[in-house]
A = this chain, B = another copy of it.
Amino acid sequence: MKKIINEPESFSRETVEGILLAHSDRLKALEGDLQIIARNDEVKPQKVSVVTGGGSGHLPVFLGYVGNGMLDGCAVGNVFASPSANKMFNMIKGCDYGNGVLCLYGNYGGDNMNFSMACDMAEMEDITVRQIRVKDDVASAPANEKDKRRAVAGLVYAWKIAGAAADMMYSLDEVCQVTEKALNNLRSMGVALTPCIVPEAGKPTFSIGEDEMEVGMGIHGEPGIEVRNKMSASETVKVLLDKITDDMPLEKGDEIAVMVNGLGGTPLEELYICFKEAHAYLEAIGVKIYSKYIGEYATSMEMAGMSLSVLKLDDELKDLVDYKASTPFFTNINK
């Protein structure tokens, strides 16, 4: 196991400790609980709160998006594991500014169950909560079972839109509405080239052949659509965008935000080569790239691989994508 860590069991805790030492001006642990992270900067009064939660091992997802114009709080689980309902409940309670809390998280079994318990607990304390689950991964279920789809890097766009809307003083209903609209226009898909290692496991829990690529693999190594022989950047991008546009047709003149996301072990150079291919693909069908993110936005530790996300934009979504956001891990100020 080629990792620079201390005790595997303390991986998540020490990660959060490091983050809080580095960014105490922007982030804090609620009541000293390292699994409950909230903004430590000034929050607009009367703002709707947007929160999330999920397992560790995906930085900057999840807690890296807590900050101005994005998320208000995050419950942090162990590697690839949901935080408990109780942690989520305490996080929701701590991030409630009195104008409603949107729990915006990825569609994973454990997270779903815990958030639904946590929301029950919050409602019992008269906190107005809503839940929206992100299901952007087209590879994880066919179109007629859309509700089973998992979340991947599209989470970042969900938070960008909801976070901007909340900061623009949308009401809870309005934040939910525009977030649902964005999710309807959001699709992602990825490929994995190498597995990753959960520190406590000490070795990969799945393997990918030396000349193979897992098309559609989930960020925890969930099986994808198919195992294929290694493809070039141009073929890979075509496979992903074919599948994405099959599911969500794009027309000449459409404007989109596109993310080329590295899963952790893929050099930035390769992501730009993939962006070049995506640009060519989209140009050929007359679709305009209005905004792009190229880099590591949602990872699986050292997994090599890449995912593409496409968000189809209208004027409202353009404004929300453009709206300035700044967290210690993310900003669109220099983009």
Contacts and interface: CB of A to CB of B under 8 A. Distances in A.
A6 B272 contact: no
A4 B306 contact: yes
Given A3-B270, A6-B232, A331 B328 contact: no
B273 A11 contact: yes
Nearest to A328: B334
Interface stretch (A136-144, A245-253, A261-269): A261-269
A292 B22 contact: yes
A276 interface: yes
A299 interface: yes
Contacts of A331: 331, 333-334
B18 A276 contact: yes
Nearest to A283: B21
Contact of A2 (B194, B234, B279): B194
A57 B301 contact: no
A110 to B, nearest CB: 19
Contacts of A2: 193-194, 210, 230, 304
A121 to B, nearest CB: 29
Contacts of A67: 334
Contact of A17 (B270, B276, B330): B276
A225 B111 CA distance: 46
A167 interface: no
A124 interface: no
A138 to B, nearest CB: 19
A334 B26 CA distance: 10
B19 A272 contact: yes
A301 B304 CA distance: 11
A5 B273 contact: yes
Among A67, A230, A330, max chain B CB count under 10 A is at A230
A276 B21 contact: yes
A157 B194 CA distance: 33
Interface string A281-292: 000000000001
A302 interface: yes
A233 B269 contact: no
A161 interface: no
Contacts of A3: 193, 267, 270
Nearest to A231: B4
25 contacts: A2-B210, A2-B230, A2-B304, A3-B267, A4-B232, A4-B236, A4-B266, A4-B273, A4-B274, A5-B270, A6-B234, A6-B277, A11-B269, A11-B273, A15-B272, A18-B271, A18-B273, A18-B275, A18-B279, A21-B279, A59-B272, A60-B268, A265-B302, A265-B304, A268-B296
Interface of A: 2-6, 11, 14-15, 17-19, 21-22, 56-57, 59-60, 67, 191, 193-194, 210, 230-234, 236, 264-277, 279, 292, 294, 296, 299, 301-302, 304-306, 326-328, 330-331, 333-335
Given A6-B234, A18-B273, A60-B268, 12 more contacts: A2-B194, A2-B230, A2-B304, A3-B267, A3-B270, A5-B232, A14-B233, A18-B272, A267-B302, A268-B299, A328-B335, A333-B334
